[in-house]
Amino acid sequence: MAKNVGILAMDIYFPPTCVQQEALEAHDGASKGKYTIGLGQECMAFCSEVEDVISMSLTAVTNLLEKYKIDPKQIGRLEVGSETVIDKSKSIKTFLMQIFEKFGNTDIEGVDSTNACYGGTAALFNCVNWVESSSWDGRYGLVVCTDSAVYAEGPARPTGGAAAVVMLVGPDAPVAFESKLRGSHMSHAYDFYKPNLASEYPVVDGKLSQTCYLMALDTCYKCLCSKYEKLEGKQFSLSNADYFMFHSPYNKLVQKSFARLLFNDFMRNASSVDEAAKEKLGPFSTLSGDESYQSRDLEKVSQQLAKPLYDAKVQPSTLIPKQVGNMYTASLYAALASLIHNKHSELDGKRVVLFSYGSGLTATMFSLKLSEGHHPFSLSNILSVMNVAGKLKSRHEVILHFLQMCFVRYYVFFYIILTRLSGISHCIQSAYTDSCLEHFLLLVFF
């Protein structure tokens, strides 16, 4: 049976076109700091007229295979997580098969997983479970998380973003799953959904969505703690993991989420927090669950208390989500990429706890154990291959183009022929730029 199954290699692609949140604040007439402080975001990537989730995925997969010198015939399972609908029947995975068909490899299991922002986690679990199972044929699994998050004009628009993350899965991984440390919560809610298939724009109940997120966080954390305690014979608290990362629609929610875990520790076992925290959190101990989700005072106090731990255990994973925006299924794994980018030399032997959330709703908290690994499958090589700093530095800030693309993409989804408004096509060299939306529309109309 395969041991230490997890992520052997990874890469990330995000569009080089972006808009600064400060510039968007000024354009929208929003108060200064509404997006940068209120949401905690810095910049937002977006797909130009020649990119979409298919092209981003093709680029990410091709780059990983080439950089790690992986023979496409060595891939035995390909799983995709996405909520960006390009076709109501044809999966994104089938588009990616173009890469493998050229090498005569069509014996690749797996297909797309979809549930809001959770699909990437489901895809990753599927690959890990396959490698750990008796069905594994010895080849690698490949996971792609890809999305383009676009919102209608209004308060949610600054929480967009776009990216594709690709991960190679196999045994003896530097990023290994602690498969027995996993807690899930699944239930029915209409906090965020996309009932209009002729539009990219979701219907969002922001207040309900935040409550659902925090409720799922509580439940998953309690479940993970319970499983840890059965395995280890002692209580779990924030001190038992070195880093925490969260699905990140916007950074402010990540800050609230970590503070919520501190409050959970206090409620489960007050001795797990210091005396100052006991004193300040004590007045909130009688709140019901619903009351605690709505309490601004609790939110403020818990964030203040959690700030030092947040800076140490969470902040290193926030770089890409703050700079690129909400990448839906890719957001959590962009956080993992950020952690490796910022702390690669300090991660050997560390435990990382991740929280994945998808509206509707599906959520899981799970644990990874990190080690340096051995070349080419090492944290150092993941750092080098991703080249996060270089990718961020090479971007183009274009607010006018972003606004034009919002207009164009809105009408694309009403089946109007895609037109290039700006003539600006900032795409990195080697990126696939065959917009599948454009191809689809040409088929429809011609």
For the chain, what's the residue count? 446
Q: Convert 258-291 to b/e letters by CB count within 10 Å (16 or more is b).
A: bbbbbbbbbbeeeebbeeebeebbeebeebeeee
- What is the torsion angle, in degrees rounded to the nearest 10, for the CA atoms of residue 338, residue 343, residue 344 and residue 350? -100
Q: How far is CA 374 from each of CA 83, 262, 377, rounded to the nearest angstrom? A: 34, 35, 5
Q: What phi-psi label fits residue 186: left (phi over 0), alpha (psi between -120 and 50 degrees) or beta?
A: beta
| Residue 384, φ and ψ in degrees, nearest 5 | -65, -45
Q: Does the annotation place 256 within a ligand binding site?
A: yes
Residue 105 and residue 96 in contact, taking contact as beta carbons nearer than 8 Å: no
Dist CA 308 CA 322 (whole Å): 19
From the candidates 47, 117, 225, 406, give the one annotated as an active-site residue: 117
Contact assessment for residue 326 and residue 149, using Cβ atoms and an 8 Å cutoff: yes
Tell me if residue 344 is catalytic: no
252 annotated as ligand-binding: yes
Measured in Å, how far apart are the chain's first and last C-alpha atoms? 53
**Exposure b/e, 411-441, CB count within 10 A at least 16 = b:** ebbeeeebeeeeeeebbeeebbbebbbbebb
Beta bridge partners, 373, equal 378
Catalytic residue among 127, 178, 247, 406: 247
Cβ–Cβ under 8 Å, residues 115 and 122? yes
For strands 75-81 and 243-246, give the pairing: unpaired
Asked if residues 316 and 258 have their Cβ atoms less than 8 Å apart, the reply is: no
DSSP H helices, 233-272, are 251-268
Is 234 labelled as part of a ligand binding site? no
Active site annotation includes 83: yes
| Displacement of CA 41 from its chain's centroid (Å) | 15
Closest to 343 (Cα-Cα) out of 377, 372, 309: 372
Residue 30 gets which letter from DSSP? P
* Annotated binding-site ranges for CoA: 209, 252, 256
- Catalytic residue positions? 83, 117, 247
